[in-house]
Amino acid sequence: MQLYNKLSAEERAELIDNAGKSRLTLSFYQYAKIGNPQIFRDHLFLTWDPMEVLGRIYVAHEGINGQLSLPADRFNEFKAHLDTIDFLKDIRLNIAVEQDNKSFLKLKVKVRNKIVADGLNDDTFDVRNIGVHVDAGKFNDLIEDENTVLVDMRNHYESEIGHFKNAVTPDVDTFRESLDIIEDDLKAHKEDKNLVMYCTGGIRCEKASAYFKHKGFKNVFQLEGGIIEYTRQVKEDKLENKFLGQNFVFDERRAERISDDVIANCHQCGTPFDVHTNCANEACHLLFIQCDNCKTEMDSCCSTACKEIHALPYEEQKELRKGQGNSNDIFKKGRADHLPYKKDLRNIFDVLKPQKEA
């Protein structure tokens, strides 16, 4: 009985090409009480593997968080299976804005302590007491209200390439870091401001809204379905799009273009550009923004040192990596010291100072 992926990414990519089928990329999440995550995890894998589902799915006692792709002609079969699970029946599925048959190349269903690493002790507050869900139209109205503070609940490398107009974008590497920063900087406005939050698909805001209500914020709102669902509604209902740039996604596509605005810069030369890449030196693998000219000049590497290593024969590179852990730079997500045009660090709550001083 196969319970784990056995094909390499290269083998799977070849199978996808040979199949000649269009695939759908989608995501969903649901907070729910799962008694035995391991049994549930195995059930999902055994059911989805024959459907040719690929992706990254996390299962925990608190629920499920999935990003995946599947053949378009098996979507109804997949949805029918979800409907057999009580807490997933009629769940909203966020369909990707831009499709790519190779957005995922393996099926990974993993048991985790949390479906999002939030670092919170959920026993101290009611995770069901969430903020008000708003659709794209209401969201647009709210963020034009002078009494609204709009906060991006994503990490710095996500908001760097795209965010809503006038959003506060916390300069953080993890979701957990942003919670304390937001509470501290907005503590004077717990009752007189609307706290409006958004993220990629809604899952981070779901927990954050309950947390901030627990911390005393009175008017808490969250964009239902996140940026992905917002974009769908904007197109379908012909609303004004207030998102600038690209929406970062955690698959092989790395981003979906929402508007033509380019709000980021190549980390190596500073030219306007907003496409992330990973350093081609596998011992580094740093995620950073690199324009096409720098990609050619640097051979897809983030530094001269990495370029020199990448030019070595592959077996020699492997030998150099033996016994070495990942470079610390891999966790900096575009903020390595050797990148001259990395994102400028600043106090992103400066926009509130006039309000505080008034």
Residue 323: pLDDT band with limits 50, 70, 90: confident
Q: Model pTM?
A: 0.87
Would you state the pLDDT for residue 119? Answer: 87
Tens of pLDDT, residue by residue over 68-114, are: 999 999 999 999 999 999 999 999 999 998 999 999 999 999 999 99
**By mean pLDDT, which of 128-142, 176-190, 267-281, 289-303 is the weakest?**
176-190
Residue 356: pLDDT band with limits 50, 70, 90: very low
- Examine the pLDDT at 267 and tell me if it is beyond 70: yes
Question: Has domain 9-111 been given CATH number 3.30.70.100?
Answer: yes
Distance CA 272, CA 102 (A): 27
Tens of pLDDT, residue by residue over 281-322, are: 988 999 999 999 999 999 999 999 999 999 999 999 988 888
Tens of pLDDT, residue by residue over 147-176, are: 999 999 999 999 999 999 999 999 898 899
Task: Name the token pair of 289.
Answer: 């923004």
Would you state the pLDDT for residue 332? Answer: 64
Greatest pairwise CA separation for the chain in angstroms: 67
**Given 199, 266, 279, 294, which residue is catalytic?**
199
**Can you list the alpha helix ranges (DSSP code H) found in 190-250?**
203-214, 226-237
Would you state the pLDDT for residue 333? Answer: 78
Query: Quick check: do 9-111 and 122-239+346-357 share a fold?
Result: no
Number of Cβ atoms within 10 Å of the Cβ of 14: 12
Question: Has domain 122-239+346-357 been given CATH number 3.40.250.10?
Answer: yes
Task: Calculate mean pLDDT across residues 172-197.
Answer: 92
Q: Give the residue from 274, 249, 270 showing the smallest Cα distance to 259.
A: 274
Residue 199 known to be catalytic: yes
Beta strands across the sheet bearing 220-223: 132-134, 220-223, 194-198, 148-152
Residue 29: pLDDT band with limits 50, 70, 90: very high
DSSP 74-108: GHHHHHHHHHTSGGGTT---EE-SS--TTS--SEE
Specify the higher pLDDT residue, 320 or 265: 265
Number of Cβ atoms within 10 Å of the Cβ of 264: 22
Would you state the pLDDT for residue 331? Answer: 56
Q: Tell me the domain boundaries of the chain.
A: 9-111, 122-239+346-357, 276-331
Q: What percent of the chain has pLDDT over 90?
A: 79
Would you state the pLDDT for residue 347? Answer: 45
Q: For all residues of the chain together, what is the average pLDDT?
A: 92
**By mean pLDDT, which of 55-59, 86-90, 102-106, 354-358 is the weakest?**
354-358
Residue 357: pLDDT band with limits 50, 70, 90: very low
Length of the chain measured in residues: 358
Would you state the pLDDT for residue 351? Answer: 46
- Examine the pLDDT at 328 and tell me if it is beyond 80: no
Distance CA 103, CA 31 (A): 25
Residue 325: pLDDT band with limits 50, 70, 90: low
Whether 106 and 54 have beta carbons less than 8 Å apart is answered as yes
